[in-house]
Amino acid sequence: MSDPRLSTPPVRRVAGVSLPELALAVGSFAIGTGEFAIMGLLPDVADDLGISIPTAGGVISAYAIGVVVGAPLIAVLAAKMSRHVMLLILMTVFAAGNFLSAMAESHGLLLAARFAAGLPHGAFFGMASLVAAGMVAPNQRARAIGRVMMGLTIATLVGTPVAAFIGQLFGWRAAFALVGVIALACAVLTRLFVPRDRPQPGASPLRELGALANLQVWLMLGICAIGCGGMFAVFSYISPALTESAGMSVASVPIMLSVFGAGMILGNIVGSRLADWALLPAIGIALTFNLVAYVLFYFTMSSPWLAVINVLLIGGGFTVVPGIQTRLMDVAGQAQTLAQALSHSAFNIANALGAWLGGVAIASGYGYTSTGLAAAVLGLGGLAIYIVVLALSMRGTQAAAAT
């Protein structure tokens, strides 16, 4: 059934494409492009602002901190607001953060602008997922979420390289300006096509905070933060792994990054369908798939041809994301907005944790392929948490049947 909060239930479609989902996917694309494009432009930023590249790298951390802080804070404060209105506000703030980034004349101002741009990230994805899921039947929720998240995966394949190219051609500021324009386009499309909704009766910050008392919510967030960290442990060092371990040329690295993006797109499609088929088993299958991919990466990365397959499989780790998002809807009760937003904070923790553990393995002298084993450790941690989730779910099902 569609979400009763929506005041205009019919969903407009063109050539079979849901216009509300398309509008939200454009926002997903803008956020994905804005988050990752800076990584290829750090030398340009450092040179323009007269700082070192490691110092310039702080703008990436500033954005991530904005995501971690903004996701739960906005979800709680906006509990009584319409999701349609909040989506407009969030995307407008994201656009403003990117325009300010483009105009920043000092390192400090750029840090502040990137922090501001990161604030709407998690809340937007959380609310967009809930809106998309509310417009379809229950057995199609994961695919609806996947179609919104498709913008993020396409950003890794198309948006980030294009933004980096524009940044190199016209200056790094142009890349941020481009992201701001895409964000404004999302706001316009959201205003036109995303159904208006009414705030939930009884919605309040305290009710949203109720998600923090739910063990199942914390367990799913744990799978996000630990189980998904493996992908980042490998991807953070994928460039030197390709050149040093697989013996590939530097020129081939952008192509391989596109292969990684293709893997994310495939993972998103497969994961969405699996989650709508059988939610909890789909999460277990995805976590097991990721663990196997990490181990294969360690043992086979020395071959250039197998490296292509490895990178595709690592990108395919995105398979687990639609299932986690959908499961959080089921276990969060009336605190879905906060739970969804927190999942994106957890993904950023996974990013930091994976990059750190992969760096530890490399610094210990085990080589760049050792990030696969570091990822496998995190993958095992995610599977361990999943087993607890499965056991509690089965116990709850048995108790309900007995009652």
pLDDT tens sequence across 99-113: 999 999 999 999 999
Given a contact cutoff of 8 angstroms between Cβ atoms, the answer to whether 233 and 351 are in contact is no
User: Same domain, yes or no, for 224 and 307?
Assistant: yes
Question: Which residues neighbour 396 within 8 Å (Cβ) at sequence distance 6 or greater?
Answer: none
Residue 1 has pLDDT above 50, yes or no: no
Comparing 191-195, 255-259, 365-369, the range with the smallest average pLDDT is 255-259
Phi and psi at 13, nearest 5°, equal -130, 150
Q: What is the pLDDT of residue 8?
A: 42
Phi and psi at 15, nearest 5°, equal 55, 35
Q: What is the pLDDT of residue 31?
A: 93
Q: What is the pLDDT of residue 199?
A: 67
- DSSP result, 27-55: HHHHHHHHHHHGGGTHHHHHHHHT--HHH
User: Same domain, yes or no, for 123 and 244?
Assistant: no
User: Same domain, yes or no, for 330 and 391?
Assistant: yes
CA distance 274 to 170: 43
Residue 44 has pLDDT above 50, yes or no: yes
- Mean pLDDT, rounded, for 65-89: 86
The number of distinct structural domains making up the chain is 2
Residue 332 has pLDDT above 90, yes or no: no
Structural domain includes residue 6 = no
Structural domain includes residue 8 = no
Residue type present at position 33 = T
Residue 3 has pLDDT above 60, yes or no: no
- Mean pLDDT, rounded, for 208-212: 69
User: Same domain, yes or no, for 245 and 321?
Assistant: yes
State which of 170-174, 292-296, 328-332, 396-400 shows the largest mean pLDDT: 292-296
User: Same domain, yes or no, for 59 and 176?
Assistant: yes
pLDDT-based confidence at residue 244 (cuts at 50, 70, 90)? confident
Domain ends where: 136, 169, 203?
Answer: 203
Comparing 6-10, 110-114, 262-266, the range with the smallest average pLDDT is 6-10
Domain ends where: 169, 203, 237?
Answer: 203
Comparing 19-28, 152-161, 265-274, 296-305, the range with the smallest average pLDDT is 152-161
Q: What percent of the chain has pLDDT over 90?
A: 40
Mean of pLDDT over the chain: 86
Q: Which has more confidence, 69 or 381?
A: 381
Q: What is the pLDDT of residue 15?
A: 54
CATH of the domain at 35: 1.20.1250.20
Q: Which domain holds residue 135?
A: 13-203
Using DSSP, state whether 109 is helix, strand or coil: helix
Residue 324 has pLDDT above 70, yes or no: yes
CA separation, residue 124 to residues 70, 86, 394 (Å) = 10, 8, 32
Q: What is the pLDDT of residue 400?
A: 58
Q: What is the pLDDT of residue 223?
A: 95
